Amino acid sequence: MSDPIRVLGIEGTAWAASAAVYDSATDDVFVESDAYQPDSGGIHPREAAEHMHEAIPEVVATALDRARETHDGTGAPVDAVAFSRGPGLGPCLRVVGTAARALSQSLDVPLVGVNHMVAHLEIGRHTSGFSSPVCLNASGANAHLLAYRNGRYRVLGETMDTGVGNAIDKFTRHVGWSHPGGPKVEEAASDGEYVDLPYVVKGMDFSFSGIMSAAKAAYDDGVPVEDVCYSLQENVFAMLAEVSERALSLTGSDELVLGGGVGQNARLRAMLEEMCEARGATFHAPEPRFLRDNAGMIAVLGAKMYAAGDTLALAESRVNPDFRPDQVPVTWRDGHELTFAGRDEREVEGAEAVVELDPDRGRVVKRRLPKSYRHPDLDARLRRERTTLEARLTNLARREGVPTPVVRDVDRRAATIEFEYVGGTDLREALAADRVRAVGRHLAAIHRAGFVHGDPTTRNVRVDGEGTYLIDFGLGYHTDHVEDYAMDLHVFDQSLVGTADDPEPLRAAFREGYLDAGEERVLDRLREVEGRGRYVGE
């Protein structure tokens, strides 16, 4: 933005009625907010909308007063009005959309519609100065990993059921605590001890429903609430740290930014910072006022969009409660996208292991490293279980005719496996339709045998002139559920979207390959998974 720009932003996706003024000349952000506080339980959409109706005029008036006080008196006090267009609660979004349209008309300035989740990402990029980071969004109704490529923010991984904040709130409502539950869990966890709870990661996707059900059951069975809260944080946040590390590994990025209200949790920030430090990456979390829902991030991104000419006509300004971040054409960025450069072929550092490649001796040694950000009991359990599963499922896949490396030795205590060396490079660096089609056939074969790969990304497929090999079955498991098979396909599909310059022909080839040997019902379920609206508040 060469010329100074002043934008008034309005936020109201769920609970925070907020207005802000951003001045690009000074990089100053003034924010005025009025948060909805339910009397009991979680957010009630009707009550939240009523709060928006009452609070939005007041916070907007305060922000406008600030704009006029700091304005030179020529023309309108701001250059544009930006508003949160979605995702969020429909009744709340409509209140904000109406206010923004009215203000745009009365001030005679352009209107900018901002995706709330992209704003969480962009405020982190803006305050960090990073060029092209991976972003972890961890908020009430949302949880996903994003990275910029080919003109959009691509979803590398996401929750398979509910947002991280809503998941925690479900537990605290069960306990009888009022909204918001996250700070209460954080406080109680300071006096807790670790107990085993489920841990569900599938590639860069993850699920919270199992761990929340188990947490409720543990509380009902008399486990001290402090212990349950402590263990919830240790498992849920370790899951988010793990998938973030996997995204850094896949993309080759060395920058991670955090967004969303759950990012205010000190334990989550500590885990992410520790993980990044161990990888040689840089971590940034914006100041707390920009992590929780706020109009400041709407105003900052609104200014970038306005400068790029990305404004809305009134007839195009309808709100969208299911507005996904990967639906947004990124008009305000030029370059600085992830390149997915290759790695040293003698030693590859993945998300959970170091892999030593020795093609001269025809062997690969994989060592699952301890992760200091994880609780020691959880870390030991995961390393042991994943090493055992990887060896077993690699052998089972070979029996089904799927090309995999031969397992030569397993040391479960040291979490180390020695494999036969296969392939000349990762599929990520040699994408082609015939190879992707082969991956589809291979996944169909293991699904027929009753198990999933768990993490079939373009980094976990090796290729050469002889074949296409599946590797790294450490997140696999036995199952007969069509949903699990569909999620296996979803992980690989999202990997293609995140890494290919032109993913659509490859995605089509992958589905063709799967249908050659697999069941149509799995592809039907994949389409259902892709069509789910996971970004609607509760």
Catalytic residue among 79, 205, 455, 493: 455
Q: According to the CATH classification, is domain 129-283 in 3.30.420.40?
A: yes
* Three-state DSSP string of 219-253: HHCCCCHHHHHHHHHHHHHHHHHHHHHHHHHHHCC
Instruction: Report the DSSP pairing between strands 477-478 and 451-452.
Output: antiparallel
Reduced to 3 states, what is the DSSP secondary structure of residue 406? coil
Give me the residue label for tokens 């203000």: 103
Active site residue 23: no
Please say whether the beta carbons of 375 and 238 come within 8 A: yes
The one-letter amino acid code at 251 reads T
Same fold, 6-123+291-323 and 347-531: no
Name the CATH superfamily for 347-531: Transferase(Phosphotransferase) domain 1 (1.10.510.10)
Structure tokens at 44: 């009630």
Q: What are phi and psi of 106, to 5 degrees?
A: -70, -35
Q: Domain boundaries in the chain?
A: 6-123+291-323, 129-283, 347-531
Do the bridges between strand 282-284 and strand 468-470 make them parallel or antiparallel, or are there none, so unpaired?
A: unpaired
- Do 448 and 400 touch, CB atoms closer than 8 A? yes
Q: Which residues pair with 409 in a beta bridge?
A: 418
Token pair recorded at residue 430: 């040699």
As a whole number of angstroms, the distance between CA 153 and CA 149 comes to 6
Alpha helices in 320-432 (DSSP H): 376-399
DSSP state of 386: H
Radius of gyration of the chain (CA): 24
Q: What are phi and psi of 176, to 5 degrees?
A: 105, 15
CATH of domain 6-123+291-323: 3.30.420.40
Residue 518 CA to residue 388 CA, distance in Å, equals: 27
Separation CA 68–CA 96 (nearest Å): 21
Which residues, in sequence order, are bridge partners of residue 320?
none
pLDDT in tens, the chain (538 residues): 568 999 999 999 987 899 999 999 999 999 999 887 766 556 677 888 888 899 999 999 999 999 999 888 788 899 999 999 999 989 999 999 999 999 999 999 999 999 999 999 999 999 999 988 999 999 888 888 998 888 888 888 888 888 899 899 999 999 999 878 999 999 999 999 999 999 999 888 899 999 999 999 999 999 999 999 999 999 999 999 999 999 998 888 999 999 999 999 999 999 999 999 999 999 999 999 999 889 999 999 999 999 999 999 998 999 999 898 989 999 998 765 655 544 445 667 777 888 998 999 999 999 999 999 999 999 999 999 999 999 999 999 999 999 999 999 999 999 999 999 999 999 999 999 999 999 999 999 999 999 999 999 998 999 998 899 999 999 999 999 999 999 999 999 988 987 888 999 999 999 999 999 999 999 999 998 877 644 333 3
Q: In angstroms, what CA-CA distances link 217 with 69, 197, 223, 230?
A: 55, 10, 9, 15
